[in-house]
Amino acid sequence: MADKIAKLSIDGSDSEIELSMYSGSEGPDVIDVRPLTGQGYFTYDPGFVSTAACESKITYIDGEKGILLHAGYPIEQLAENSSYLETCYLLLNGELPTKDQLAAFVGTVKGHTMVHEQMHHFFQGFRRDAHPMAIMVSVVGALSAFYHDSLDINDAKHREVCAFRLIAKMPTIAAMCYKYSIGMPFQYPRNDLSYAENFLHMMFGNPCEEYVPNPILARAMDRIFLLHADHEQNASTSTVRLAGSSGANPFACIAAGVATLWGPAHGGANEAVLNMLEEIGDAKNIPEFIARAKDPEDNFRLMGFGHRVYRNFDPRANVMKTTCDEVLAELGIKDDPMLEIAKQLEQIALQDEYFVKRKLYPNVDFYSGIILKAIGIPSSMFTVIFALSRTIGWISHWAEFHSEPNKIGRPRQLYTGPSKRDYVECSDR
Ligand code: SDX
């Protein structure tokens, strides 16, 4: 039932087109443009800047106010009080779990942490210097070949099993990508450890000695997972929804999300931030890079700055900055040159008219790389960790899409190519 009506009048036409409008629980009203096709029109919105592609109950973002809610709970409160796995439960079920529900959820995740032994062979086919994201895209997609017992996407139980398998196996696969790149043996998961402790164990442990996770680093790791868990209809999540709309295997859909996240404009930005800070090298070089970022002829952009939705601060960046200070203090890292450059870069950019006018603020990726580097994780693994974290967002949106009547996504276009013309024989061209 429409909440309001929008009326569209078009030059040369006497009649108006009436379009229904709907209000959500938060955020802008939407105009239902579907009837336009029947009137011979498409809407035009490259980059989907103004398009609500679906209805969702999972995450709400207010870019002007810097608000991010997961099922209504502010990200700042979740980062402070919750855990990644509790947030996974929230994103999948729409409610925070009771103590027993959380214990059962964690227990089920722990029962799926290993990958099929034959998956180990996939890694052997890659060069040691293969980018871990290239390996991750492949191995996650290959999960499709292993789990034939839970692929009825219309069966809620099957969708739940897929969710558990992906939440549980992504850290194992991510750590395997790292271990393979450094020629070290894979570490099997340890179910006596928490999710983040187990990830650090699989990353930094080895068969020759027991690995004892640092609780401060484990907490920081868990917070990084939580801050990246979901973010509405971003590029990779929209890809997963679109792939899911064709009825594709859920593991293939998540692999499509991993591939999309890899780009430096999206999840690849955290690695690009650190590469940029290393390229700047010294605070005295900052003005040169600020000038390049502002130069329309130079395609250099200040990585970690700007956001399609946040036109104010990214609430995740604020939490990340606090975590960064905690981790560096715990590790006794004073005057980290990268952090020094980052803080000066942030201060300069936040006062520079170019950035202020375009509302370009630090985003979630600006500080995460400094934390991960301090923990000892190479920059090539940063987006792998983002993919690990975002898997719950992808699978929650995929499950939401399949939990209600749906249709295949099939955008149209504004065609500006040649009109109909007849074939010309090669001899006549
Ligand atoms: C993530 O969507 C999500 O929710 C993503 C994410 C998630 O959790 O899923 O939040 C994760 O992807 C965060 C963003 C990480 N990417 C980066 O840090 C890369 C650097 N940022 C930019 O590439 C850019 O800001 C985007 C891609 C993030 C947003 O680009 P938009 O919304 O398409 O904005 P735009 O390109 O239209 O830019 C508007 C103006 C342009 O200048 P003018 O044409 O007006 O002169 O701002 C400029 C741009 O040139 N601009 C920048 C800039 N970002 C935008 N100029 C310099 N440095 C930048 N970083």
**Per-block mean pLDDT, blocks of 10 residues, the chain (429 long):** 88 92 96 96 96 97 95 98 98 98 98 95 95 96 86 91 97 97 96 97 97 95 98 98 96 97 93 93 93 94 92 91 91 87 89 92 90 94 97 98 95 97 97
Ligand 1, atom 24, lies closest to the CA of 306
Q: What is the pLDDT of residue 350?
A: 86
Q: What is the pLDDT of residue 147?
A: 83
Ligand 1, atom 25, lies closest to the CA of 306
Q: How far is the CA of 389 from the centre of ligand 1 (A)?
A: 21
Q: Determine if ligand 1 sits within 6 Å of the CB of residue 302.
A: yes
Q: What is the pLDDT of residue 1?
A: 66
List 112, 158, 266, 336, catalytic entry: 266
Q: Determine if ligand 1 sits within 6 Å of the CB of residue 269.
A: yes
- 307 is a catalytic site residue: yes
Query: Could you tell me the CA-to-CA distances from 284 to 275, 341, 346, 360, 400 in Å, in that order?
Result: 17, 9, 14, 22, 49
Q: How far is the CA of 116 from the centre of ligand 1 (A)?
A: 39
Q: What is the pLDDT of residue 148?
A: 77
Measured CA to CA, the distance from residue 207 to residue 214 in angstroms comes to 18
Taking the CB of residue 363, how many other CB atoms lie within 10 A of it?
A: 24
Ligand 1, atom 42, lies closest to the CA of 358
Q: What is the pLDDT of residue 334?
A: 85
Q: Determine if ligand 1 sits within 6 Å of the CB of residue 323.
A: no
- 365 is a catalytic site residue: yes
Q: Determine if ligand 1 sits within 6 Å of the CB of residue 68.
A: no
* Sheet containing 59-62: order of strands: 59-62, 67-70, 73-74
Q: How far is the CA of 229 from the centre of ligand 1 (A)?
A: 20
Enter the DSSP assignment of 376.
Answer: T
Q: How far is the CA of 312 from the centre of ligand 1 (A)?
A: 13
Ligand 1, atom 30, lies closest to the CA of 308
Query: Could you tell me the CA-to-CA distances from 293 to 281, 349, 393 in Å, in that order?
Result: 16, 10, 31
Q: What is the pLDDT of residue 151?
A: 82
Ligand 1, atom 45, lies closest to the CA of 358
* Sheet containing 16-22: order of strands: 4-9, 16-22, 30-31
Residue pair 162/150 in contact (Cβ under 8 Å)? The answer is yes
List 307, 314, 397, 402, catalytic entry: 307
Q: At what angle do helices 315-330 and 215-227 cross, to 10 degrees?
A: 170
Pick the atom of ligand 1 nearest to 366's CA: 18
β-pair partners for 134: none
Which among 70, 363, 383, 397 is the best mutation to test ligand 1's pocket, defined by most ligand atoms within 8 Å of the CB? 363
Q: What is the pLDDT of residue 312?
A: 84
Q: Determine if ligand 1 sits within 6 Å of the CB of residue 234.
A: yes
Residue pair 395/251 in contact (Cβ under 8 Å)? The answer is no
